[in-house]
Amino acid sequence: MTLRAREALEGAELIVGYSTYVRLVQRDFPHKMYLATGMRGEVDRCRMALEHAAGGEQVAVVCSGDPGVYGMAGLLLELAPEYPGVTIEVIPGVSAANGGAAILGAPLMHDWCSISLSDLMTPWEVIERRLVAAAQADFCIALYNPSSKGRQDYLRRACDVLLKTRSPKTVCGCVRNVGREGEECRTLTLQELRDAQADMLTCVFVGNSQTVVVDGRMVTPRGYRLEGQ
Amino acid sequence: MTLRAREALEGAELIVGYSTYVRLVQRDFPHKMYLATGMRGEVDRCRMALEHAAGGEQVAVVCSGDPGVYGMAGLLLELAPEYPGVTIEVIPGVSAANGGAAILGAPLMHDWCSISLSDLMTPWEVIERRLVAAAQADFCIALYNPSSKGRQDYLRRACDVLLKTRSPKTVCGCVRNVGREGEECRTLTLQELRDAQADMLTCVFVGNSQTVVVDGRMVTPRGYRLEGQ
């Protein structure tokens, strides 16, 4: 959490969020007012927040990671014109890609892209097109939402797309529970990743052609010339 | 800055960094020991930090943004095996893409990629291949290092590559001095961006085909169905 985010929560009269994230915030701010909704209640949640703000309250909407990356910032700004007088400040955070990368080492040191494997709101054809492009242009890749109850084979399908262009030995990494209890990580090859289990709480990293494992850490060199190389 | 980063700085006996960033940190921690080097002194800087750490000191290396994205984390981990006994913790931060996006609105709400236009350590052909791929697969794009003294036309060259695939009306944004004094931002079209001036302190954003301007903010919709749509 950033200093600015904590300051905003301290100043908020009402904190709105998905119930799981509200529980995490409540531990540090037990005496605030909260409004929580379940998954897929995103539009209602944002409208509630904006209505309270329009009524004059100082409202904080919480997400995990960065609200500007697969979070609530966009939806709030899209709905905002219906609530004139409400001012929205987006407070950036550490996205799961950045948080997970730090645990694995430094896999995103060079050009990289972020792809969500969730096809709830994006057709699979678009996702696949992005995987193909990322593989061909040798981007490091952070994969969000690698799996869920209804989509257990999506990570395997994504790996099969990547394996058409990228070496099966490409260095990959998985991090579970980024920044929370039970945090764990491991490195593996793209071929092994294809057959790995990853749940919704896992962030998956695929290195570029230069990515290596150094003392157990996943590292993508930026290209500095070191002695003897 | 994150709470964890501040904690690490508080606990550090020595803070090492590029002189510009060291000056920023010194304002909040005036009584620490510092070691600063100039630009392109990256390898020396990391070796100095590792040597002091090998001597038993608690050392913090500072970068701007996220040390794991075009920062110092990778180089430190690459050099670490030469300094046995030194333990490195990577503390993630808010990268310029995430910080700049929040100022503009929410341009990176969907799949996005990060491309540096600096060809100091990456051949231009690789950079161009990544621009082509990002344009074709309709990624939102954050462009780092859009210009420098020696490379004043790189942003124009990048826009020309993107314009082969993407509409000249594509919504774009520029943010200067992310999170620092003199912070400023504006939205413009891809065609306008081609002829815009951007310096080294600017982060440039290119929207995807869905990106819009809402009340002056740059927003990429995630795809939630809103009433009446």
Query: Domain coordinates of chain A in residue numbers?
Result: 3-82, 96-219
- Closest chain B residue to A111 measured between Cα atoms? B115
- Chain centroid, CA A144 distance in Å: 6
Q: What digits encode the pLDDT tens for the residues A146-205?
A: 988 888 899 999 999 999 999 999 999 999 988 788 899 999 999 999 999 898 889 999
pLDDT given at position B229:
46
- Closest chain B residue to A83 measured between Cα atoms? B215
CB contact under 8 Å between A106 and B73, yes or no, is yes
CB contact under 8 Å between B94 and A219, yes or no, is no
Query: Which DSSP symbol is given to A2?
Result: B
- Closest chain A residue to B1 measured between Cα atoms? A2
Per-residue confidence at A38, pLDDT binned at 50, 70, 90? confident
pLDDT given at position B95:
96
SS3 label, residue A90: coil
Average per-residue pLDDT for chain B: 94
Query: What residues contact B120, with CB distance under 8 A and at least 6 apart?
Result: none
pLDDT given at position A57:
97
- What is the spatial distance between Cα A31 and Cα A48, in angstroms, rounded to a whole number? 20
Measure CB to CB from residue A116 to each of B67, B111, B133 and give the nearest one: B111
pLDDT given at position A150:
81
Higher pLDDT, A223 or A137: A137
Q: What is the mean pLDDT of residues A59-70?
A: 96
Widest CA span in chain B: 65
CB contact under 8 Å between B69 and A108, yes or no, is yes
Angle at A105 between CA A175 and CA A64, to 5 degrees: 45
CB contact under 8 Å between B68 and A98, yes or no, is yes
Q: What is the mean pLDDT of residues B123-130?
A: 96
Measure B154 CA to nearest chain A CA, in Å.
16
A86, pLDDT greater than 80: yes
Per-residue confidence at A84, pLDDT binned at 50, 70, 90? very high
Average per-residue pLDDT for chain A: 94
Query: What residues contact A197, with CB distance under 8 A and at least 6 apart?
Result: A147
Which residues of chain B have a CB within 8 Å of the CB of A136? 129, 133
- What is the spatial distance between Cα B221 and Cα B206, in angstroms, rounded to a whole number? 14
pLDDT given at position A229:
46
- pLDDT > 70: what percent of chain B? 99
- Closest chain B residue to A97 measured between Cα atoms? B92
pLDDT given at position A200:
86
Query: What residues contact A96, with CB distance under 8 A and at least 6 apart?
Result: A64, A65, A142, A144, A178, A203
A105, pLDDT greater than 90: yes
CB contact under 8 Å between A102 and B132, yes or no, is no
B228, pLDDT greater than 80: no
Higher pLDDT, A39 or A212: A212
Which residues of chain A have a CB within 8 Å of the CB of B73? 102, 105-106, 109
A108, pLDDT greater than 90: yes
B60, pLDDT greater than 50: yes
- Angstrom distances, CA of residue A19 to CA of A15, A23, A66: 11, 6, 17
Q: What is the mean pLDDT of residues A6-29?
A: 95
The second-level CATH assignment, the architecture, of A96-219 is 2-Layer Sandwich (3.30)
B178, pLDDT greater than 90: no
CB contact under 8 Å between A106 and B80, yes or no, is no
CB contact under 8 Å between B69 and A43, yes or no, is no
CB contact under 8 Å between B74 and A215, yes or no, is no
Q: Is ipTM > 0.90 here?
A: yes
pLDDT given at position A39:
75
Which residues of chain B have a CB within 8 Å of the CB of A79? 226
Q: Domain A3-82 carries which CATH code? A: 3.40.1010.10
pLDDT given at position B227:
61
What distance, in Å, lies between the first and last C-alpha atoms of chain B?
39
